[in-house]
Every structure is written in C-alpha cells, then in structure tokens.
Chains A and B, each alone.
Chain A
Amino acid sequence: MKRYLPYIIAGLLALLPLAGLSSYVMHILILVIMWAVIGMAWNLLSGYCGQVSFGHAAFFGTGAYTAGMLYSKLGISGWWGIPLSVIVVSVFALVIGYICLRLRGPFFALATLSMGVILRITAENMVDFTGGDLGIMIRERSWVEKTWYYYIILAIAVGTFLAVKQVMESKLGYYFVAIREDQDAAESLGINTTLYKTIALVLSAVLTGFAGAFYTNYMGYIDPKVVFALHDISIVTIMVVMVGGVATYWGPGVGAIIMVLLAEVIRSIPTLGTAHQTFFGILLIVIIIFLPNGIVGDFAKLKRMLGMAKT
C-alpha cells in the first residue's frame, strides 16, 4: 500500500480538474503544487544533504527569467524555458556552488542568501537585458482555462517526487545524508564531499528552476522583486519545508498546503491581511521551538523513523 501511495495521490490529483472546480480553487491548487515542487527541491539540498540555502530565489528567478527572456528577446514561447532552464540554471548553480560550497553551515546559508540578492539587483540594473524593474510581460497567454497549467505543474511535481525518491534510495542519497550528518566523517570514508554537495545543489537548483519557468508562463508577468524575492521566495521556501517536515518525502507537500492556505486565509480577512508576516514569523518560531522537524518529520519521530524517512 505504502509503495503505491505516490501513484494513488498523483492519480487523485490528476482527476481533480474533472470535478469542475472554480478558477480560484484551481489557482490555489496550482500554487500549492508549485510550492511543493520548490520545497522538494530545497529539501534535496538542505534537508537531506544538510546545506541550508537561504537563496533559492536565485534559482527560481533564473528559471523564470530564462522563460521570460526567451519570449521577450527571441520571441519564442516561454514554455521552452522549462527545458532550456536545465542548462542555464545548472550553469548558475555551478558558479554559485563554486563560491558558496566551500563554506559550512550558517555561512553557506548566508552566502546563498547574498547570491539571491546579487541576482535580484543585477536583474534590476541590467535594464537592456532583463527589462529592469519593468519586468517582462507575456502578452499572448497560452490558455485562458487553468486546467492545462494544472496538469503541467502536476507533471513537474510528480517527476520531482519520483526523482527525489530515486536519488535518495541510491548511492547519492546515502552520500547526501552522510554529508549532512558529518562532513569530516563522510570525507574520510571516501566520499568526495565537494562533488556530491555540488550534485545536490545542481539537482535542487534545476528542479527549482522548473518551477520558476512555469511561474513565468502561468502568471504571464515577472519582475526582479517578485521572482528573486528574499522573503516571498527564499524564506517561504524554507518555511514550506520546515513546517511540513525536513528530510521527508511528504513534508514539502504538506508544508505547501499549509503555507498557501494560510496565506490565502490571512489575505482574505482584511483586519489580518496587514499582519500576515507576523503570522508567518510566529508560525516559524513556534515550529522551530516545538516541532523542529516539521509536521511530517516529528510524526515520523514517533515511529522511530527520524532522519531518512525510508521504508
């Protein structure tokens, strides 16, 4: 049963649009799934491999701009941004990794945070290339209905889930967790920690880039402040996984549901709307103090399945 759970859930999600949901509900579902993708991607690098990134907006934004600039500069469909972002984001990830991965722990975190900010400022200032603060608008939308967008992001999510699972059950997965648990021990046991951290970073970045490229096509508009956002992308990414469950397969999905719904609920109540950062901040503080491994993670702890939530 447990083995087939991902397929059952994917099947149910695939049937959902047939229920004739409103455009708003579809929008929420698309956001949840998109955030689940970003969360799973972050989890690979930070949850499993232990290299906590505060700058995933760098990869999200790079993916988004790959799609946007294909459209604005070359005049071809932004959807080509999804395959092309593999190359572009990988190159960015390799450069960022070369600089940041020599650092450990919180210093790596802060270095990645800076990378996200550098890319944002660069995108804002290279007006000829990126359009600067004006952003990029995709005038011809692919579809009016949300259904196809839903299936595309669902396909990306299912692919990401299976990829993460595959990786974590292979040699890579053992190496990632070994590096997280003790980098010196891992190195002395013959693990090329620099190489495998770089692999984790590139994989994570590429998956995040997919979500970014999708975002451009789905929303039809991007600008540097939105796609390279520190709080609304990088920090929310961390929150999705922290709330859901660090280093668990299902944590990012659970976290994405909670975070997206929470944001929507708070936004829809006028008196609370302005305080949504406070709610997020308090939620983050409470989770860290009381459920440090997230909802799924500390659920698993009860079952003595802490760490690698393997079957």
Chain B
Amino acid sequence: MPFLEIKNVSRFFGGLAAIKSVSFEINKGEILGLIGPNGAGKTTLFNVVNGFYHPSRGEVSFRTERISGLKPHQICRRGIARTFQVVKPLQRMSVLDNVVASAFLRAKDRAEALGIANDVLDFTGLADDRDVLSKGLPLGKRKRLEIARALATRPELLLLDESFAGLNPAELDASIGIVRKIREQGITIMIIEHHMKVIMAISDRIVVLNYGEKIAEGAPLEIRNNPQVVEAYLGEAQSA
C-alpha cells in the first residue's frame, strides 16, 4: 500500500497543461527527490498535493484516503506539511510566534504549543533567533523557519520546495543535516531541489518532470545515467 499515491494527475491553466497525467508513489520513510528544468511543473505538483490546486484530472491519495479536493488546511491536518519556494514567513511575528501558530494544530493550549515550538526551534537550530521578527531574518534562516513551521504541525509527509536554494555552503550543510535528522524521526520527505549534488546525495529515489510530464523515475544512479534525463535536464544543469 503506497503512502502517497499520485495517480494520473493533470492540471490545466487556461487550456495549457502545467502537469500531464503524472503518476508515482511515495513509500513511507523514504526521501523522494523531484527534479526537472524550470517550468517543469514541480511546484504545481506540490500545490496539487497540498490542496492549493485541485487536479483537473486524476487524484491524489494519502494512506488510502483520497485527499485531492480537500482544502490545504484539511490536508495539513491529515499529516502533510509543506514549505514554500518563495518563503512566506509571517513577517510581523517573531520566529517563535511563527512556529507557535502552526504548533496549535496539534496542541490543546498555548503552553503545549509553546512546548512543541521550542522543541522544533532547538531541532532546527533557530533557538537563538526565537525573539527576532521573522522579516528581519537572513534568507538562510527564513528557509529554515519554513521547515520549522512545517515540522510544528507534526507531519508524516513533508514537502520541501527548494529549501536549499540560495544558501551558502555552511548553511547548506546545516540544512542537509536537518533533513537527514527529520528522516531519522520517521517523517517521509518529498523534496524539490535544483542543487544536483544535494539531491543525488540525499534522495532514495528521484522522479524527473519535464514539460509537465514524468520522464523518469528511479534510484539516483539510474537517473544520472538515463539519457532522456541527461538530455532534458542534467546537461543543462551541468553546463550551468
């Protein structure tokens, strides 16, 4: 029984298909990398899984329950949390309050929410910044705040949308460490990433999208040697 099943999902915008009958599954406990050139439909797929968009065709099921058609907050309550590629911190709230706001999803009262939030901030290494207004954070920490907020909803499946983009090498190492630690806690991860070395290193399996269609799926090594992928994507990335 797949953990998350994406079945024949298409999504059209004004007649143009952003994703075309994409199907794949995610198994519990794995890290699945989602790659593809710009405009391949990766973020659109996240928006479909997370409920911002309803699929035009096909359906998404999470632990045997059909979730496509639900609203984002309902999907989050069922255990799927996400981050945004363009970070969306709650700007005028402190880092702590950002995380407390999401921790309330599983907390009875403020004290419990604060407890969850503080744990998550320690876990993601943001504890020292807890009182900083989130709009004052540098980009690297804002990306990490996205992860922290998502974690505070106690997800079983975490969708990370380019959480490593724009980080300096030190921040990158820290973030990769955090992602590995998240997996050790038993949380399944689907990750969109442009950074090839990172994605190859941390993914168990990789799905490649190009022009809205799935063109390959497999272990990192298979993907690296898949001629179609090399043509569509890796060539471009390696030359860049």
**Chain A interface residues (CB < 8 Å from chain B):** 169-171, 174-175, 177-178, 181-182, 184-193, 304, 306-308
Residue B73 contacts which of A181, A192, A304 (CB distance < 8 angstroms)? Answer: A192
Among B32-40, B89-97, B187-195, the stretch that binds chain A is B89-97
Across the interface, do B102 and A181 meet the contact criterion of CB distance under 8 Å?
Answer: no
Given known A-B contacts A174-B100, A185-B84, A190-B102, A307 and B93 have beta carbons under 8 A apart: yes
Q: Is B141 close to A, CB under 8 A? A: no
The 8 closest A-B pairs by CB, nearest first: A307-B92, A190-B76, A181-B90, A185-B88, A190-B105, A189-B102, A174-B101, A178-B101
Across the interface, do B72 and A181 meet the contact criterion of CB distance under 8 Å?
Answer: no
Known: A174-B101, A181-B90; 10 extra A-B contacts, CB below 8 A, are A171-B107, A177-B90, A185-B88, A187-B71, A188-B52, A188-B81, A189-B102, A189-B105, A190-B81, A306-B133
Across the interface, do B110 and A181 meet the contact criterion of CB distance under 8 Å?
Answer: no
Q: Is B113 close to A, CB under 8 A? A: yes
- Count how many chain B residues have C-beta atoms less than 8 Å from C-beta atoms of the other chain: 33
* Bound-state Cα–Cα, A136 to B107, Å: 49
Residues of B64-117 at the interface with A, using a CB-CB cut-off of 8 Å, are: 71-74, 76-77, 81-82, 84, 88-93, 97, 100-102, 104-105, 107, 109-110, 113
Q: Is B153 close to A, CB under 8 A? A: yes
* Bound-state Cα–Cα, A192 to B77, Å: 10
CB distance from B81 to the nearest CB of A (A): 7
Across the interface, do A304 and B71 meet the contact criterion of CB distance under 8 Å?
Answer: no
Total A-B pairs, Cβ < 8 A = 89
Given known A-B contacts A174-B101, A177-B101, A189 and B150 have beta carbons under 8 A apart: yes
Across the interface, do A306 and B92 meet the contact criterion of CB distance under 8 Å?
Answer: yes
Residue B133 contacts which of A175, A182, A186, A307 (CB distance < 8 angstroms)? Answer: A307
Given known A-B contacts A171-B113, A184-B52, A193 and B73 have beta carbons under 8 A apart: yes
* Bound-state Cα–Cα, A185 to B93, Å: 13
Across the interface, do B73 and A308 meet the contact criterion of CB distance under 8 Å?
Answer: no
* Bound-state Cα–Cα, A188 to B51, Å: 8
CB distance from B92 to the nearest CB of A (A): 3
Tell me which residues across on chain B come within 8 A of A175, comparing CB atoms.
Answer: 101, 104
25 contacts between A and B (CB under 8 A): A169-B110, A171-B104, A171-B110, A174-B100, A174-B101, A175-B101, A177-B92, A177-B93, A177-B97, A178-B90, A178-B93, A178-B101, A181-B89, A184-B88, A188-B52, A188-B72, A188-B81, A189-B73, A189-B81, A189-B101, A190-B76, A190-B77, A190-B105, A192-B74, A308-B93
* Bound-state Cα–Cα, A59 to B100, Å: 32
* Bound-state Cα–Cα, A182 to B113, Å: 20
